[in-house]
Amino acid sequence: MRLLKNLLPALLLAGPAATAQTSPSAAVWNNKQCAVVLTYDDAIDVDLDNVIPALDSARLRGTFYLIGSAAAVSKRLPEWRRAAQRGHELGNHALFHPCDGSLPGRGFVTPDNDLSKYTVSRAVAEIRATNTLLTAIDGKMARTFAYPCGDRQIGGVNFYDQLKTDFVAARGVTGGLPTAAQVKLDDVTCYSINGQDAKYMLDLVKQAQQSHTLLVFLFHGVGGGHPLNVDLGAHRQLLRYLKAHEKEIYVAPLVEVAEKIRAVQAGPAARK
């Protein structure tokens, strides 16, 4: 009886800590408070000139969604290969970045790259061709996709339905801070940054920490290079905060985070 009395308080103290360390919701963020994913779209020169050096200096890894036909890919291919070797993800942003030109505000869409004039088979073929190109660069098979302009349908058909086995996940353009169970792997939420300051971005990170959720940032230009842009100093402040709190925040490429989420969502069946 005396042994039980002595053991019971120890078990009560140890129980919650052990649960926090072994529960799926904690494990999916590497036993940290939340996950933050830094994504950069369109394969532009500032990715290689500004972003990757900044990430490397902080020892953080990001996801770069490459347009297969982009000049910054063909002209700087060895630099992308070195980036992948240092742990950055090269994601798929389609071969020609087709967007639906029939939607409002899409005057920038050219007839050649108008998704509304595509067939589903053409979209799927071009995306798979881009995967082949990316594998030739980094040698990897696991990869994520980002919908150009966030467009998911051609003639009312979701073209990604034919690509679900080709990718671990696909990133959309709608904001949100989902738990691991709430993440939609075929339309991962994100926050698009265009002119917002460092406080806005840090507030999002702090919200993710408090709610134990996934936060994905979507960047285009960083310090210029694109009409959608974030100030270089603001971006640097975000990286500094993430680095300073790396014991509480899991920062990794989307492919890595999505693989963990997929395993948790599959539940016990995935671990049998």
Domains recognised in the chain with CATH numbers: 30-267 (3.20.20.370)
Of 136, 150, 155, give the one whose Cα is nearest residue 94: 150
pLDDT at 267: 78
pLDDT at 27: 79
pLDDT at 25: 58
CA angle at residue 190 from 68 to 193, to 5 degrees?
80
Taking only the tens place, the pLDDT of each residue in 77-92 is: 999 999 999 999 999 9
| E strands in the chain | 34-41, 63-66, 89-92, 144-146, 153-154, 157-158, 169-171, 191-192, 214-219, 221-222, 229-230, 249-251
Give the whole-number percent of the chain exceeding pLDDT 70.
89
Tens digit of pLDDT per residue, the chain (272 long)? Answer: 444 444 444 433 333 333 334 445 567 899 999 999 999 999 999 999 999 999 999 999 999 999 999 999 999 999 999 999 999 999 999 999 999 999 999 999 999 999 999 999 999 999 999 999 999 999 999 999 999 999 999 999 999 999 999 999 999 999 999 999 999 999 999 999 999 999 999 999 999 999 999 999 999 999 999 999 999 999 999 999 999 999 999 999 999 999 999 999 987 654 44
Structure tokens at 81: 């290969």
Provide φ and ψ at 196, rounded to 5°.
Answer: -65, 150
pLDDT at 82: 98
Helices marked H in 156-246: 198-211, 232-244
Indicate the pTM of the whole model. Answer: 0.89
Q: Are 35 and 257 in contact (CB under 8 A)?
A: yes
